[in-house]
């Protein structure tokens, strides 16, 4: 399992709901958590590892020793957004080194299934709410660059150009990023 970077088409795929939490899903969740910690992220969504189903893993402290803050969420939805929009710095493991301000709701009420298939509800504010909104966007094929606004995008252009160049280089070398064959419904924002 590997995290793919923008502009890998898997990042634009709309993930499908998980129908059954089987051994494959459980194994993927464990591997995603491990990858997330290794890359020092707070969250990781299945499309970032080219899996096309609705699963996200998070730890709001990014700390493997804080298992109490670890969440594996299957088929998550935001039931309510409130508290107004907050503009704050955000990054993404599929855009290494890029940080920009993005507007997110201060508070969200989320519903999801845990790995045991139990339905859960959580109310989060501030950073955890931001992580939820960022990761649930991934399941819709939405990326934080879509929410930056023109100024943020303009400031990100050099990084985005570099990701595209790296991707094209890998493709030319025949070193295709994994999962490319499974990618459907590719959509380009920055064309």
The answer to whether residue 92 forms part of the interface with Zn ion (CB under 5 A) is yes
Give how many residues touch Zn ion by CB under 5 A: 1
Question: Which residue's Cβ has the minimum distance to Zn ion?
Answer: 92
135 tagged catalytic: yes
Residues 6+ apart with CB under 8 A from 27: none
Compare residues 29 and 92 and give the one whose CB is closer to Zn ion: 92
Cα separation of 49 and 27, whole Å? Answer: 13
Least Å from the CB of residue 28 to Zn ion: 17
Least Å from the CB of residue 37 to Zn ion: 15
Question: For residue 167, what are its two tokens?
Answer: 């991707």
CB atoms within 10 A of CB 30: 12
Least Å from the CB of residue 140 to Zn ion: 12
- Looking up tokens 């094929």 gives 141
**Whats the size of the chain, residue-wise?**
191
Stretch that binds Zn ion, among 20-28, 64-72, 84-92, 98-106 (CB under 5 A): 84-92
Instruction: Check 121, 135, 168, 181 and give the catalytic one.
Output: 135
Compare residues 126 and 146 and give the one whose CB is closer to Zn ion: 146
Q: Are 32 and 190 in contact (CB under 8 A)?
A: no
Cα separation of 90 and 79, whole Å? Answer: 22
Residues 6+ apart with CB under 8 A from 67: none
Side-chain-facing half-sphere of 22: CA atoms under 13 Å: 5
Least Å from the CB of residue 171 to Zn ion: 22
Stretch that binds Zn ion, among 88-96, 118-126, 157-165, 172-180 (CB under 5 A): 88-96
Give the three-state DSSP class for 17. Answer: coil
Compare residues 74 and 143 and give the one whose CB is closer to Zn ion: 143
The answer to whether residue 98 forms part of the interface with Zn ion (CB under 5 A) is no
The answer to whether residue 28 forms part of the interface with Zn ion (CB under 5 A) is no
Which residues are tagged catalytic? 135
- The residue ranges that bind Zn ion (CB under 5 A) are 92
């Amino acid at each position: 399992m590997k995290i793919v970077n923008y502009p890998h088409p898997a990042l634009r795929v709309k993930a499908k709901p998980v129908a059954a939490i089987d051994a494959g899903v459980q194994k993927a969740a464990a591997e995603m958590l491990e990858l997330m910690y290794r890359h020092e992220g707070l969250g990781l969504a299945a499309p970032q590892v080219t899996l096309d189903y609705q699963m996200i893993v998070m730890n709001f402290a990014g700390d493997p020793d804080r298992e109490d803050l670890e969440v594996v969420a299957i088929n998550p939805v935001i039931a309510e957004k409130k508290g107004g929009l907050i503009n704050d710095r955000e990054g993404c493991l599929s855009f290494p080194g890029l940080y920009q301000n993005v507007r997110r709701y201060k508070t969200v009420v989320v519903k999801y299934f845990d790995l045991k298939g139990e339905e859960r509800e959580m109310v989060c504010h501030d950073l955890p709410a931001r992580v939820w909104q960022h990761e649930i966007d991934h399941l819709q094929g939405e990326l934080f660059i879509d929410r930056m606004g023109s100024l943020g995008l303009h400031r990100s252009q050099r990084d985005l150009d570099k990701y595209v160049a790296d991707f094209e280089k890998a493709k030319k070398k025949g070193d295709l990023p994994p999962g490319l064959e499974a990618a459907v419904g590719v959509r380009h924002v920055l064309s």
